[in-house]
């Protein structure tokens, strides 16, 4: 069912998220603690921003399991960024294990990932495809519900940018999914943990239809972060766990990367944002 992690803050090497923590995203590829299943071995992906060189992110995706990809390990050690997204995939439905189906998805300066599933996607897909504008239609290269939601997101966003429009566009995608589910009388819930960034700001959601329990989602904040002997640590500011606030570094992750008590669970139905001045907000998704 996939697991993901997103980091924004003081530049860190990618292995701080992917390899070194006890419950790194690579560890989650074969032994996820809180996922629907322990195994997320159907490919992986990594995106990170290098703003000095490009507004668009670097992207590395592979159909190999994350745990046995040497390129992933080697790149993670010598690539540093202030904004990193990583994803390990468990294929759903009848989708191929192909690079085009690996998250994250990149469109221009935007990066998108998803943990969950659109209910009865098979039945939903064609109708959604038809609503896309031509340029968004052409951006859909694979078979996943996730990539199509990214195309819908980009369509909703249009030429806008910034935290408000991104937040609105993400919620519009969730509303669309819920409306379709109602119209088509689908009983299975949608599971829509989404994360998107424009290279500066971040929006993430934890959502499931009706009273279903959404996929797990956590965050941690601090004045920086590091990983020593497998323990992922943020230098905590003391107050952030009660009231999300401004911090130099924020991690949003499907499950904690470590056992330290620095992780806050995101409540179901919440939307997180990280502003360009490092402020974390937390508000209900408006459906």
Backbone phi, psi, residue 67, to 5°? -70, -20
Alpha-carbon separation of residue 115 from 133, 161, 280 (angstroms): 25, 23, 21
Give yes or no: 102 in active site.
Answer: no
26: closest CA among 48, 41, 47?
41
Tell me: does residue 172 bind a second copy (CB under 8 A).
no
Query: Could you write out the DSSP letters of every residue in 151-218?
Result: HHHHHHHTT--SHHHHHHHHHHHHHHHHHHHHHTT--SPPEEEEEEE-SS-EEEEE-BSTTPPPPP-E
User: For a second copy, which is the closer residue by CB, 146 or 273?
Assistant: 146
Question: By rule CB under 8 A, what string of x and - marks binding of each residue 47-66 to a second copy?
Answer: ---x-xxx-xxxxxxxxxx-
Find tokens 């519900």 and name the residue: 145
Choose which of 34, 98, 175, 248 interacts with a second copy (CB under 8 A): 98
Tell me: does residue 130 bind a second copy (CB under 8 A).
yes
Tell me: does residue 133 bind a second copy (CB under 8 A).
no
User: For a second copy, which is the closer residue by CB, 106 or 194?
Assistant: 106
Q: Smallest gap, in angstroms, from Cβ of residue 169 to a second copy? A: 23
User: Which residues, listed in sequence order, are joined to residue 257 by a DSSP beta bridge?
Assistant: none
22: closest CA among 219, 256, 217, 235?
256
Q: Which of the stretches 89-97, 193-201, 244-252, 275-283 binds a second copy when contact is defined by CB under 8 A? A: 89-97
CB 251 within 8 A of CB 24: no
Task: Please state, in angstroms and rounded to a whole number, the distance separating the CA atoms of residues 244 and 75.
Answer: 32
User: For a second copy, which is the closer residue by CB, 3 or 206?
Assistant: 3
Tell me: does residue 68 bind a second copy (CB under 8 A).
yes
User: For a second copy, which is the closer residue by CB, 77 or 231?
Assistant: 77
Q: Smallest gap, in angstroms, from Cβ of residue 110 to a second copy? A: 15
Tell me: does residue 242 bind a second copy (CB under 8 A).
no
User: For a second copy, which is the closer residue by CB, 134 or 210?
Assistant: 134
Tell me the CB-side half-sphere exposure of residue 241, using CA atoms within 13 A: 10
Tell me: does residue 40 bind a second copy (CB under 8 A).
no
Q: Smallest gap, in angstroms, from Cβ of residue 60 to a second copy? A: 5
Torsion of CA 145, 149, 155, 160, to 10 degrees: -160
Tell me: does residue 256 bind a second copy (CB under 8 A).
no
Task: Please state, in angstroms and rounded to a whole number, the distance separating the CA atoms of residues 214 and 212.
Answer: 6
From 2, 102, 225, 227, active-site residue: 2
Choose which of 10, 22, 34, 97 interacts with a second copy (CB under 8 A): 97
218: closest CA among 13, 23, 9?
23
**Residues acting as catalytic residues:** 2
Residue ranges that bind a second copy, judged by CB under 8 A: 13, 30, 38-39, 41-42, 50, 52-54, 56-65, 67-68, 70-71, 74-75, 77-80, 91, 96-100, 122, 126, 129-130, 134, 137-138, 141, 143
């Amino acid at each position: 069912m996939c697991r993901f992690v997103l980091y924004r803050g003081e530049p860190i090497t990618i292995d701080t998220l992917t390899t070194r923590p006890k419950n790194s995203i690579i560890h989650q590829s074969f032994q996820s603690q809180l996922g629907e299943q322990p195994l997320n071995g159907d490919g992986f992906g990594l995106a990170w921003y290098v703003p000095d060189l490009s507004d668009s992110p670097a992207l590395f995706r592979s159909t190999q399991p994350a745990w046995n990809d040497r390129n992933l390990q080697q790149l993670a050690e010598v690539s540093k960024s202030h904004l990193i997204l990583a994803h390990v995939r468990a294929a759903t439905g009848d989708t191929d294990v192909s690079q085009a189906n690996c998250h994250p998805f990149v469109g221009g300066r935007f990066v998108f990932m998803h943990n969950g599933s659109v209910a009865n996607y098979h039945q939903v897909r064609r109708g959604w495809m038809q609503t896309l504008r031509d340029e968004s239609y052409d951006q859909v290269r694979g078979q996943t519900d996730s990539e199509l939601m990214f195309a819908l997101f980009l369509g909703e966003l249009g030429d806008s940018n910034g935290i408000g429009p991104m937040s609105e566009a993400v919620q519009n995608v969730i509303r669309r999914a819920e409306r379709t589910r109602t119209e088509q009388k689908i009983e299975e819930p949608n599971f829509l943990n989404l994360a998107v960034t424009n290279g500066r700001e971040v929006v993430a959601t934890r959502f499931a239809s009706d009273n279903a329990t959404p996929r797990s989602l956590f965050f941690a904040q601090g004045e920086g972060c590091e990983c020593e002997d497998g323990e992922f640590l943020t230098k905590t500011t003391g107050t952030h766990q009660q009231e999300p606030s401004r911090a130099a570094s924020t991690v949003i992750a499907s499950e904690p990367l470590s056992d330290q008590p620095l992780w806050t669970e995101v409540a179901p139905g919440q939307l997180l944002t990280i502003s360009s001045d490092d402020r974390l907000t937390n508000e209900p998704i408006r459906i």
